[in-house]
Amino acid sequence: MKVLIFSFLISLIITYLFTPVVKRFALAIGAIDVPGKRRINSRPVPTIGGLAIYGGFSLAAVLFLVLDKTLMGIMVGGTFILILGLIDDLYEISPLLKLLGQIMGALILIFFGVKIEFITNPFGGMIFLGYWGIPLTIIWVVGVTNMLNLIDGLDGLAAGVSAIAALTLFFVALQENQFVAATLAVTVAGSTIGFLRYNFHPAEIFMGDAGAMFLGFILAAVSVTGALKSAAAVTLIVPVLALGIPIFDTVFAIIRRLYHNRPISKADHGHIHHRLLALGWSQAEAVLIVYVISMFLGLSALIINGSSVQDALVLLGVVVVLLIAGAWKLGIFTVELPAEGVNLEKSNI
């Protein structure tokens, strides 16, 4: 237990102390996020804050975990994703090149043996995936990496949601007696909370694509080493709920764009945080509302992880119905998408 506490505190303190240094570095090299059509910020803000999150997480992980094959894969893959994100923050690489880089990051994990090896059959036993575990792992890692990046739209949103997801995975790992996964998860939580001091509204620094993709990648990897290694019948449900905000927000975005005959890859202002702003909530209020939803999903994941298959499916059904009803109430599915250049947050919806 002491190791878990120190992992949390060291990652938090290092990130807290390192973030102002990264902020000054970002200003010195011109790594600034300027206001634009799809930007919420009304003033230039330093970016690449993901470097501070990476520093806090990496130092604590190396200090308190044995540098075995699993940790090596996570660190090498995470470093690769961070560098990819930094390049994108500074030079804006193409979406295709970014996707190929994310796939490479997932392959690094697989090379070091970090992959989804089985899924639990709710009717009994386990289904071993064999080579099918490779594409499933790639889809999971790349998907979560991008989903976390997509919700990085308001001050403190991605950092706070990541912290809540990490704490959920931490408690799930404790339930399953998975020490490595628990340590990694609590270290992510510490680094994101340390960064949140400077990233909550009004943000002094943004994490950038480097931070958002790194966090998404690490959370995906932690779930592979933890929740997805569980022999419980609800193996697949738990990490999906733990990472529920980015996952469901992305699913709803796909449904919305198909409904409006828009390309799935076409960006819009219909994400949950955009809708909350459009309905009159302030940035801070919108972020806090999303935090509460994320906590609800995390608590649901913990309850489901300790439930029977029948109870878990009933609770999952209730959660999904509530999410769909809430999304419909916010207009996430049916809101008319804005014409190019129109700022939906300023419109009367």
pLDDT in tens, 164-202: 999 999 999 998 888 999 999 999 999 999 999 999 999
Average of per-residue pLDDT across 28-39: 76
Average of per-residue pLDDT across 27-36: 84
**Higher pLDDT, residue 92 or 306:** 92
| pTM (predicted TM-score) | 0.90
What pLDDT does residue 103 have?
97
Segments forming the whole domain that contains residue 130: 2-346
Average of per-residue pLDDT across 327-341: 67
Contact (CB, 8 A) for 325 and 192 = no
Q: How many domains does the chain have?
A: 1
Mean pLDDT for all residues in the chain: 87
Tell whether the model's pLDDT for residue 153 goes beyond 70. Answer: yes
What pLDDT does residue 286 have?
93
| Alpha-carbon span 117 to 130, nearest angstrom | 7
- On the 0-12 / 13-18 / 19+ scale of CB atoms within 10 A, 91 is exposed
CA angle 21, 23, 24 (to 5 degrees): 70
What pLDDT does residue 339 have?
41
Tokens encoding 54: 């990476």
Least confident of 2-6, 291-295, 310-314, 316-320: 310-314
Backbone phi and psi for residue 70, each to the nearest 5 degrees, phi listed first: -65, -50
Tokens encoding 18: 């390192």
Least confident of 95-99, 119-123, 146-150, 258-262: 119-123
Share of the chain above pLDDT 70, in %: 90
